[in-house]
Amino acid sequence: MSPGKQWLWPTTLPPGLSAIQRSLQTEFTTWHFKSDGTVVAWVYPANGQTALPAGLNGVLAVAAGDLHSLEIMLIVPTITTVAAANGQCTEHATFSAAVSPSTATGSVEFLVNGSSVGSAPVTDGLATFDYVVNMIVGEYPLQAVFSSSFPSFADSEGTSILTVTDTTPPVADVGSLPDVTAQCSAVRPDPPTATDACDGQITATTTSPATFGQGDFTIVWTFNDSHGNSSEQSQQVHVHDTIAPTVTCPNDVTVITSSSSSMVVDYPAHTALDNS
């Protein structure tokens, strides 16, 4: 026979019974599921108890009473929904599995790519699990396996797909880059790095020239990940000659003149050195 017409929880128990997990009552019969997996039937007013029989397909137990023989059928819950919020490579994804009937008690184990990643209890027909993704971009099979804590509910399984995406650009490793200052000219500094959740460390690229003359410049560094996301970081270059030339005076020139009026004196030109 199929499970009964009415669930009663709690219900009045026959005297002397303990460890009753749940009871089911029909028009003429009440039977009780014990936490050790046995079943007690309570019928007018005799009661009989039996352990779980082996080899009966879909039958949890048979309990004999005074007027009745009861076959307790296995209730097979179904996982109606398995969902995974899309996850980024090293971020969190939320798995959920809806179990029907909602009275089913137990837990749902989640498996990604065939490997168990953890389990969550079923509450009001729903199990949710926070999964820290540590995988490359792609699609992975997701399984949800319900295991009942109550003997009249069978295990059940549902499947879905975990989609790991990358929509997050790389994040620069330092908040700001130091200015480059020089008097005469400057060489473009080494490129900075950034860290990406999916690609790891990324080295910047730029279209700025390799050297800079006099003036103020902005180097725009670009970090590109392998999934079309990018971020930028700028660095200032200031090249200004602020040092005046240094004059070197020639040595004194001493001449002996035979004229009292004038005399031509030759001396080398003055020179100056500049830092540029």
Closest residue by Cα to residue 129 from 148, 142, 139, 138: 142
By CB under 5 A, which span of 5-13, 73-81, 189-197, 265-273 interacts with Ca ion? 189-197
The single residue among 146, 158, 166, 172 that binds Ca ion, judged by CB under 5 A, is 166
Pairing relation of β-strands 180-182 and 230-239?
parallel
The three-point CA angle 70-75-78 to 5° equals 170
Out of 160, 196, 221, 233, name the contact with Ca ion by CB under 5 A: 196
Q: Which of residues 109-138 bind Ca ion (CB under 5 A)?
A: none
Binding mask of the shown chain, residues 77 to 116, with x at each position contacting Ca ion by CB under 5 A: ----------------------------------------
DSSP 117: E
- 165 versus 183: smaller Cβ distance to Ca ion: 165
Who's near 206: CB < 8 A, 6+ residues apart? 188, 191, 219, 220, 221, 222
Contacts by residues 40-46 (CB-CB < 8 Å, ≥ 24 positions apart): 40/14, 41/65, 41/68, 41/70, 42/14, 43/67, 43/68, 45/14
| Closer residue to Ca ion, CB minimum distance, 171 or 243 | 171
Residues 214-233 binding Ca ion (CB under 5 A) are 225, 229
Residue appearing with tokens 């690229």: 205
Q: How far is the CB of 60 from Ca ion (least distance, A)?
A: 51
Residue 199: CB minimum distance to Ca ion, A: 6
Establish if 168 lies at the interface with Ca ion (CB under 5 A).
yes
* Binding stretches for Ca ion (CB under 5 A): 166, 168, 196, 198, 225, 229
